[in-house]
Chains A and B, each alone.
Chain A
Amino acid sequence: MAAFSDDIFFAPLTDLNRRLRAREFSCVELTRAFCDRLEKYGPRYNALALLLREPAIRKAKAVDDELKRGRTRGALQGAPYGAKDLLSVAGQVTTWGAKPYAAQVFDYDATVIKKLDRAGAVLIGKLAMVELAGGGGYRYPAASLQGPGLNPWNRGFWSGGSSSGSGSAVAAGLTPFALGSETWGSILTPAAFCGVTGLRPTYGLVSRYGAMALSWTLDKIGPMCRTAEDCGHVLQAIAGGDSNDPGSAGKSFYFAPQYARPLKQLRVGFAEVDFAEWAAPEARKDFAEALNAIRSLGVQMKAASLGNHPYSLITGVIISAEAASIFEPLIRSGKVDELADQRQIAGLKAALELKSTDYLKAMRIRRLVQQEMAKIFADVDLLISPSRFGPASAINEALDRPSRPQPEAKQRGLRDLGAFGNLCGLPALSLPCGFANGLPIAVSVVGRPFAENTVLALGIAFQKATNWHTRRPPV
């Protein structure tokens, strides 16, 4: 049995795949090693919901047989991974992170699970998440069946959510990659807080069939990996049209960053105020260096800012209205009271009071936001901003009532890029770019719809020029 060092547990996917094909170790050995590691360390971060050792070993044996016969399937073949526990896996519990659904079992695989299986990836576990992906709003990180997601860099701090287990599992080298989901921040936040690379794809690029719905208008599934390049490989495997998903764009994705426009032709919009004033003081130095690193890539930097639409208000209304409809049986039956977080319970109940005219107004303002987006992207190719303005919060801190005063600035800059990007269904890549008080921080690169290759090209170049993404927490 091969002995695995940290170099394997923190290796990028292409490296793992090369070593598997060179028979340095078998897929079964690799899978066992990651299962052992996930089983041992996953609970340390409340990252693991369900270990899938036996089906994983069966799959790993099948992969070894294929490799022996010379049947290759690409960069993900043989790679263990974890899936956020809102993705159904046939015959296994899928809890949505929530007590009312703790015994829920589906008899089919989510489309993304099937696609990764065809790519030869090995699902080793379901990863913890904030209950119901936090749709009602939640106050504490403990809003989860598995308890608060703990940050591998410092367990006194939050891993971020709602893809909390996905972020911490990749950060701690428990899985080479993981699937997360984002409605409003749930891939980029744990990626930023845990120091991993997370990709939120364009809305509709990846099928949501078999995933818990929180907001039909905003839900997206995406990869969380050690590198931007790995995100590209995973996205290629999971993207594609699906008639089972009404939101499917019917488009495929071929990872080809080498065919994206040369970096020196790219116009990158940013707002100085985001990095200098909105950012937490302890993060400004590393954010400034990250901005310089991006400048050094030869891109054309341009000032950019958003308008004055009520981005956060309408994003909140859209999510609340759709979540209230999706979870209406849960709320009206009273089982919503079984959730862990009081703010979440109150939020879901209150959401039933939203008027249809408010939802429609929000969706009409969304049309105006989309028009604004088209104008912005006539002038720039990408937007960059801090993924989050500071590092992770302490584990007992109320998320809606920060204990420290938050920075204020007169100009909005791109402060609302999170709401804006999700409203418009834009792709975004969170890139580790430094540390603040010993905790990771990150920048986000946001592109036009379906411009993932351009977004990834910048991310790959940034990661060639920096090494933040190679740092490892003490596990």
Chain B
Amino acid sequence: MMSTKVSRRALAALLVAPAAPAQEPKETLEQETRRRIEQTLADSKKLTAYAVPMDVEPAFQFRP
């Protein structure tokens, strides 16, 4: 179970780096997100094109 209480002392002991100087991105976050979504769609097409015999089941790992 997760507790939401945390003491100021505990937080103060945590090491956190100062904010790094911003790396000048070649694209904005929105542009990059759109590009990644397009990549996801392109990967989807590759997966669709990859033939797998019908009787091959997913290799789920979890045990009952």
A276 to B29, CA, bound (A): 39
Is A465's beta carbon under 8 Å from chain B? no
Q: Tell me which residues from 5 to 62 in chain B have a Cβ below 8 Å from any Cβ of chain A.
A: 5-6, 10-11, 13-18, 20, 23, 25, 29, 32-33, 35-37, 39-41, 43-44, 46-48, 50, 52, 56-62
B22 to chain A, nearest CB (A): 10
A103 touches B58 (CB 8 A): no
A340 touches B62 (CB 8 A): no
Is A370's beta carbon under 8 Å from chain B? yes
Contact of B36 among A128, A248, A346, A361 (CB under 8 A): A346
B6 touches A346 (CB 8 A): no
B45 to chain A, nearest CB (A): 10
A346 touches B33 (CB 8 A): yes
Known: A107-B3, A365-B52. A358 touches B17 (CB 8 A): no
B31 to chain A, nearest CB (A): 9
Known: A51-B13, A364-B56. A345 touches B43 (CB 8 A): no
A358 touches B3 (CB 8 A): no
B contacts with A, residue count (CB < 8 A): 41
List, in ascending order, chain B residues with CB within 8 A of A142's CB: 17, 20, 23
Residue ID in chain B nearest A165 by CB atoms: B15
List, in ascending order, chain B residues with CB within 8 A of A103's CB: 6, 11
Contact of A106 among B3, B61, B63 (CB under 8 A): B3
A140 touches B43 (CB 8 A): no
Known: A50-B13, A204-B61, A425-B61. A367 touches B47 (CB 8 A): no
List, in ascending order, chain A residues with CB within 8 A of B57's CB: 364, 367
A104 to B33, CA, bound (A): 27
List, in ascending order, chain A residues with CB within 8 A of B59's CB: 363-364, 366-367, 370
Known: A102-B16, A370-B59. A343 touches B2 (CB 8 A): no
List, in ascending order, chain B residues with CB within 8 A of A316's CB: 43
Residue ID in chain B nearest A355 by CB atoms: B44
List, in ascending order, chain A residues with CB within 8 A of B32's CB: 342-343, 346
B40 touches A351 (CB 8 A): yes
Contact of B10 among A92, A107, A320 (CB under 8 A): A92
B29 touches A105 (CB 8 A): no
Residue ID in chain A nearest B38 by CB atoms: A350
Residue ID in chain B nearest A366 by CB atoms: B59
Residue ID in chain B nearest A340 by CB atoms: B20
List, in ascending order, chain A residues with CB within 8 A of B36's CB: 346-347, 349-350
A360 to B58, CA, bound (A): 6
List, in ascending order, chain A residues with CB within 8 A of B41's CB: 353
Residue ID in chain A nearest B61 by CB atoms: A217
B2 to chain A, nearest CB (A): 6
List, in ascending order, chain B residues with CB within 8 A of A48's CB: 15
Residue ID in chain B nearest A337 by CB atoms: B29
List, in ascending order, chain B residues with CB within 8 A of A340's CB: 20
Contact of B37 among A248, A249, A353, A363 (CB under 8 A): A353
A350 to B52, CA, bound (A): 25
A373 to B58, CA, bound (A): 16
Contact of A363 among B1, B4, B60 (CB under 8 A): B60
A144 touches B2 (CB 8 A): no
Residue ID in chain B nearest A136 by CB atoms: B36
A361 to B49, CA, bound (A): 10
B32 to chain A, nearest CB (A): 4
Is A192's beta carbon under 8 Å from chain B? no
Known: A364-B59, A367-B56. A105 touches B3 (CB 8 A): yes
A144 to B56, CA, bound (A): 40
Contact of B15 among A49, A248, A314, A355 (CB under 8 A): A49
A49 touches B14 (CB 8 A): yes
B14 touches A50 (CB 8 A): yes
B47 touches A358 (CB 8 A): yes
The 4 closest A-B pairs by CB, nearest first: A147-B17, A363-B58, A350-B36, A346-B32
29 pairs from A and B in contact (CB 8 Å cutoff): A43-B15, A49-B14, A49-B15, A93-B13, A103-B6, A104-B2, A105-B6, A106-B2, A107-B2, A107-B3, A128-B15, A140-B23, A147-B17, A147-B18, A148-B20, A246-B62, A310-B47, A314-B47, A316-B43, A337-B29, A345-B33, A349-B33, A353-B37, A354-B44, A361-B47, A361-B48, A364-B57, A367-B59, A368-B56
Chain B positions near chain A (C-beta within 8 angstroms): 1-6, 10-11, 13-18, 20, 23, 25, 29, 32-33, 35-37, 39-41, 43-44, 46-48, 50, 52, 56-63
Known: A147-B20, A346-B36, A363-B60; 17 extra A-B contacts, CB below 8 A, are A91-B10, A102-B14, A313-B43, A317-B47, A320-B40, A337-B29, A346-B32, A350-B40, A351-B40, A353-B37, A355-B44, A358-B43, A362-B47, A364-B52, A364-B57, A364-B58, A368-B52
